[in-house]
Amino acid sequence: MILIYPFHAAVPLTYQRAARMRRNLTPPEARLWRYLKGGNLGGAKFWRQHPVGVYILDFYCPAAKLAVEVDGAVHAIPEKILHDRRRTAGLEAQGIRVLRYPAITIRDELDGVLAGIREAVGRGL
């Protein structure tokens, strides 16, 4: 079964990968999701592991065109930093703003992360 969202086209394999990823969130992603799901953050609706083209966004708020990415330690590797910059540029070219948070920040400074997301959502609505 091919699922097509009206917002972003993605190949069927990307949708399948996203579905698997939704079932296997990392601990920092799961922690953040508890606050983002169900409109718990100022009523904004977020989707988790949402496909956009060849990419899968950790969290996406369609109303604000906002992606929230949780970066584990692998994102500190130079090749991954370059990949993330290109990915962010590609998403921004589609009008999607990207917020990136290190996983450790989700663990240690969640209130600040939520405040930053709330502010970004407010600017996008």
Which domains, ranges and CATH numbers included, belong to the chain? 26-124 (3.40.960.10)
| Angle 85-87-93 from CA coordinates, rounded to 5° | 100
pLDDT reported for residue 6: 42
Give 45-57 pLDDT, tens digit per residue.
999 988 888 888 9
Under-70 pLDDT residues of the chain: 1-22, 125
* CA separation for the pair 79, 64 (Å, rounded): 30
Q: Give me the helices (H) in the chain, please.
A: 12-23, 27-36, 78-93, 103-108, 110-124
